[in-house]
């Protein structure tokens, strides 16, 4: 058998089946999870899933999600994770593009999946004949849909070999997790950050994953889980750290350090959260196409504002605008090569060649390397908005708003925000005589896109700034928002969940 991500679970089930894998609101051993995944694989085989097929998985964090996720891999299928907040059109686009055979969902996701028309199985009822691990004929473990570096959603194809090798390198050389660690599993497991750092990394080490109470993220409840279960390592996005900083209480005695990724971590948030949690918060950098390229991990002293050196097995170089490689201290576009790279965009050779013309992935991000090879993120070349660790493609939101009968033209931009990193602002030009209620924008977008992509602020203008080629100048809109020439109306309460 070639490298298979299922071995991250199977090996501990063989060596120490009674070792606890999940704790918190539910407790499961590695042996129990392996048995559940093997039986899920049998159920998928009985349902017609064959090695190489693609299977959508969408469910809240928990044993049922892991049974479905690992079960699909055990069956030789490729997992297509779909965030639980996804709207029906988003699910349909991913499932259609991936040519998914069926979907594995929990009860809250069934109505949306019914709208899509994709055959579904209940993640809580996957119980067939036990099946052994089967290789995927194309070597693909996951297809993660992303904005990509060129703006439109694409499926980043992740192989078993890449996922296994990069996980092993992260645990052994960077995170230094051991079987004694307890890792908080609060990140959504349908996202790359969540499944890699809150499941695969601890499972490789034989550690325990502490699951906080089910449902939406709750800062106080997840901190209670950390204290009760002795969480020693905590991966999260900046908005979670911001929320934890607001919860009163004593620091967590077992916590060694924390990892923040998905968006820039504002310095005030870092300091407040560090004081509340009682541990250093380090930053990491990556993207779906090249996950966890660099991490500022112990035992090196903390370097606030930096994302650390490239992790083991990964190379980073910077290319200046003139095409030459940047020297230490110079700013350039981050290019990446290593075990963390995707195999390419699913069924899109042209887009793959554009972003990986010579084996190095062009990230679209600007950075700076110092004399010791430590990376600092400077800015983005693309207009991607990163709100609370979620990537939001402006053109996708603009398309939805432009379909409203009252809207003549629209631009969506990101505005710097202390809590979320960026806030989503919709700038509209209305049709003559049209009336657009602010609440209507919220309802219109939420019916068509996930909640993470809904603009939280609205500005109505007479005309959008255009360049010589008649393209909207988003940078001008961002500048006007920064200096107060353009004022946006808040659409939802500041205390809303991210």
Where in the chain are the domains? 7-367, 385-490
- pLDDT above 90 covers a percentage of the chain that reads 76
Which of 204-218, 244-258, 351-365 is predicted least confidently? 204-218
pLDDT, average across residues 406-413: 90
Between CA 438 and CA 416 the distance in angstroms is 21
Which of 208-217, 276-285, 313-322, 340-349 is predicted least confidently? 208-217
Q: How many Cβ atoms sit within 10 Å of the Cβ of residue 248?
A: 7
Per-residue pLDDT, 354? 95
Specify the length of the chain in residues. Answer: 498
Per-residue pLDDT, 395? 79
Dump pLDDT digits (tens) for 466-477: 764 456 888 899
Q: Which of 183, 205, 195, 155 is nearest to 259 (CA)?
A: 183
Per-residue pLDDT, 496? 46
Between CA 94 and CA 317 the distance in angstroms is 32
- Which CATH architecture describes the domain 7-367? 3-Layer(aba) Sandwich (3.40)
Burial of 301 (0-12, 13-18, 19+ CB in 10 A): exposed
pLDDT, average across residues 21-40: 97
- Could you tell me which CATH number the domain at 385-490 has? 3.30.300.30
What integer best gives the mean pLDDT of the chain? 92
- Which pLDDT band, with edges at 50, 70 and 90, does 441 fall under? confident
Per-residue pLDDT, 149? 46
Per-residue pLDDT, 152? 61
In contact, 388 and 395? CB cutoff 8 Å:
no
Indicate whether 437 pLDDT > 90: no
Alpha helices in 47-175 (DSSP H): 63-74, 88-98, 110-116, 160-169
In contact, 195 and 34? CB cutoff 8 Å:
no
Indicate whether 382 pLDDT > 80: no
- Which pLDDT band, with edges at 50, 70 and 90, does 200 fall under? very high
Kind plus residue range of the DSSP H or E element containing 124? none
83's CB contacts (< 8 A; 6+ apart) are 58, 188, 190, 191, 450, 452
Per-residue pLDDT, 478? 93
Between CA 202 and CA 200 the distance in angstroms is 6
Between CA 199 and CA 374 the distance in angstroms is 27
Between CA 107 and CA 125 the distance in angstroms is 11
Residue 11, CB-side half-sphere exposure with 13 Å CA sphere? 13
- Strand 314-319 and strand 331-338: the pairing is antiparallel
Indicate whether 244 pLDDT > 90: yes
Q: How far is CA 338 from the centre of its chain?
A: 20
Alpha helices in 364-411 (DSSP H): 394-402
Edge-first strand listing for the sheet containing 407-417: 407-417, 421-430, 457-460, 489-490
Between residues 80 and 469, which one has the greater pLDDT?
80
Q: How far is CA 451 from the centre of its chain?
A: 15
Dump pLDDT digits (tens) for 111-168: 999 999 999 999 999 999 999 999 999 999 999 998 544 446 799 999 999 999 999 9
What share of residues in the chain are helix, strand, coil (percent, to 5)? 30, 25, 40
Indicate whether 356 pLDDT > 80: yes
């Amino acid at each position: 058998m070639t490298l298979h991500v299922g071995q991250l679970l199977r090996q501990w089930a063989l060596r120490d089946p009674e070792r606890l894998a999940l704790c918190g609101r539910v407790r499961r051993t590695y042996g129990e999870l392996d048995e559940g995944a093997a039986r899920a694989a049998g159920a998928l085989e009985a349902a017609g899933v064959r090695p190489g097929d693609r299977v959508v998985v969408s469910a809240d964090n928990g044993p049922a999600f892991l049974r479905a996720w690992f079960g699909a891999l055990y069956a030789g299928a490729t997992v297509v994770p779909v965030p639980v907040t996804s709207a029906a059109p988003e699910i349909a686009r991913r499932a259609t593009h991936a040519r998914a055979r069926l979907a594995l969902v929990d009860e809250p996701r069934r109505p949306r999946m019914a709208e899509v028309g994709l055959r579904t199985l209940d993640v809580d009822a996957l119980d067939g004949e036990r099946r052994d691990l089967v290789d995927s004929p194309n070597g693909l473990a996951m297809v993660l849909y992303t904005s990509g570096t060129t703006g439109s959603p694409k499926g980043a194809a992740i192989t078993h070999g890449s996922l296994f090798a990069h996980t092993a390198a992260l645990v052994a050389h960077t995170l230094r997790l051991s079987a004694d660690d307890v890792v908080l599993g609060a990140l959504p497991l349908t996202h790359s950050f969540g499944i890699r750092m809150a499941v695969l990394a601890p499972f490789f080490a034989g550690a325990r994953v502490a699951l906080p109470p089910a449902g939406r993220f709750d800062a106080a409840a997840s901190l209670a889980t950390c204290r009760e279960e002795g969480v020693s390592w905590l991966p999260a996005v900046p908005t979670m750290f911001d929320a934890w900083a607001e919860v009163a209480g004593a620091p967590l005695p077992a916590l060694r350090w924390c990892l923040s990724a998905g968006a820039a971590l504002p310095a005030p948030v870092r300091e407040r959260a560090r004081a509340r949690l009682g541990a250093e918060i380090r930053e990491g950098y990556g993207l779906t196409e090249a996950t966890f390229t660099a991490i500022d991990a112990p035992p090196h002293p903390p370097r606030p504002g930096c994302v650390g050196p490239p992790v083991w097995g990964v190379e980073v170089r910077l290319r200046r605008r003139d095409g030459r490689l940047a020297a230490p201290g110079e700013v350039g576009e981050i290019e990446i090569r290593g075990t963390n790279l995707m195999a390419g965009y699913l069924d899109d050779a042209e887009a793959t060649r554009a972003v990986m013309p010579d084996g190095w992935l062009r990230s679209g991000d600007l950075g700076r390397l110092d004399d010791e090879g430590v990376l600092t993120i400077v800015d983005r070349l693309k207009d991607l908005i990163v709100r609370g660790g979620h990537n939001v493609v402006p053109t996708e939101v603009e398309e939805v708003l432009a379909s409203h009968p009252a809207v003549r033209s629209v631009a969506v931009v990101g505005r710097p925000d202390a809590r979320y990193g960026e806030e989503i602002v919709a700038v509209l030009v209305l049709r003559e005589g049209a009336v657009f209620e602010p609440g209507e924008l919220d309802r219109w977008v939420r019916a068509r896109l996930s909640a993470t992509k809904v603009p939280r602020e609205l500005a109505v203008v007479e005309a959008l700034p255009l360049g010589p080629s008649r393209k909207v100048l988003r940078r001008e809109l961002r500048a006007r928002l920064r200096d107060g020439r353009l004022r946006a109306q808040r659409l939802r309460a500041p205390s809303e969940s991210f």
